[in-house]
Structure 1
Amino acid sequence: MRRTKEQAAETGRQILQAAEDLFLEKGYEDVTLEEIAALAGVTRGAVHWHFKNKQGLLLALRDAAQEPFRVLADELAASNGAASLKKFGDIFADIFDRLENDPRQQALLRGMIRLDIALSEKDEPGGTTFRAEMNGIFVRLFQAVERDTGMPPPWTPHTAASMLSATISGLVFEWALGKGAFHISPDGSLFVRTILSSLTK
């Protein structure tokens, strides 16, 4: 019997959830595809079919982390009202809070950082870095702000997006590697909100 698209999508979600649970529990490097398949209740072949390999799973988890920002960018782009960056700051505050309060997230984040560095050094299909993709989303958000409320000079959507992307990358990198003497929440959240408030008129 042929599976429907909905069934295939559900299987993909189950595999991804199993991978995330195991990555958080054991660390990305110490998890095998066999373990992921067993937890998801599927064959290893099904994991390969949906995600190709472990890197594909990590890329899918990275992609899922961007979804709230894509949704917000879509909402602001379609909105006729004044765009507000408060919701943007709220999303970051929620993400930073989860990172701060779940130590396992730090190890998973380190894996994503290593993946991003590897992708930036290679010209692979689908190898766009997380930072490049997030910068594109930030540009869309600031374009909505520019359209609805204007931005204080000399900022433009592209310069503001680049600055914010670099700032957040630095915060996350320092925190994930344990180099900074700060908490990603609430310190990082407050810093991001302060920057966002300076980018609107």
Structure 2
Amino acid sequence: MRRTKEQAAETRRQILRSAEEEFLARGYENAKLEDIAAAAGVTRGAVHWHFKSKQGLLFALRDESKQVFIELAEHLAKEDAGQPLDALGDLICGEFAKWSADPRHRGMMRVMFYLDLTTICTKEHDPFREALLGAIGKVLELAEQRHGLPHPWTVQSATSVMYGLIEGLLMGWCREDVTFDLAQHGAAVIRALLASWKR
């Protein structure tokens, strides 16, 4: 009997959650596809079918992070009330706090940045970056429409700076020692920038 789309999606989710736990527990380099498959209750072939490789699993985990920004943009577009800049700040700082709460995330993110840098020259475009820029841009466009952005900021320039700031803070967190507190220091910088855009 052929598997339904819902069953396939659930299998994919199970594999991804197992991969995340294996990467966090053992580190990306030491995690094995056999262990990921066993933890998810599937065959290694199923892992290959859904994600191709261990690198594919890591990029799929990274791609999940853009989804919360897309959902925020969609939610704010349906709501007339509220301050989009506050909602964006809450989301970013919430993600920073979540990653900081488990120090294993630092190592996994370090590997993600490394793989990004080693593959960027082979790609004409980066779908992850484009999707994330698009989602952040939609939130900032709503802020511009509802409250306006102060001169000389535009939606495009604010989007580029916000994306660059997030990326820079995360890269700094990956490279620095434990004294760099992403949840505290990173969040303070994000809040300060967003506050400067309020009118």
TMscore range, shorter length: over 0.9
**Aligned partners of 1:18 and 1:36 also within 8 Å:** yes
C-alpha separation in 2, matches of 1:112 and 1:194: 27
Partner of 1:30: helix, strand, or coil?
Answer: coil
Deviations 1:64-105 (A, max 9, x none): 111111101112233334542112111122211122221100
**Aligned partners of 1:146 and 1:157 also within 8 Å:** yes
**Aligned partners of 2:84 and 2:143 also within 8 Å:** yes
Cα pair distance change 1:82/1:101, threshold 3 Å: closer
Aligned residues: 199
TM-score (norm 1): 0.91
> Counterpart of 1:94?
94
More off after superposition, 177-186 vs 89-98: 177-186
More off after superposition, 15-24 vs 71-80: 71-80
What percent identity do the matched residue pairs reach?
43
Matches within 5 A, 1:1-201: 1-81=1-81, 83-123=83-123, 128=126, 130-178=128-176, 181-201=179-199
Return the offset for 1:10.
0.8
C-alpha separation in 2, matches of 1:133 and 1:118: 20
Partner of 2:151: helix, strand, or coil?
Answer: coil
- In the alignment, structure 2 segments of 5+ residues that lack a partner are none
C-alpha separation in 2, matches of 1:180 and 1:105: 13
Partner of 1:150: helix, strand, or coil?
Answer: coil
C-alpha separation in 2, matches of 1:64 and 1:170: 19
C-alpha separation in 2, matches of 1:181 and 1:122: 35
TM-score (norm 2): 0.92
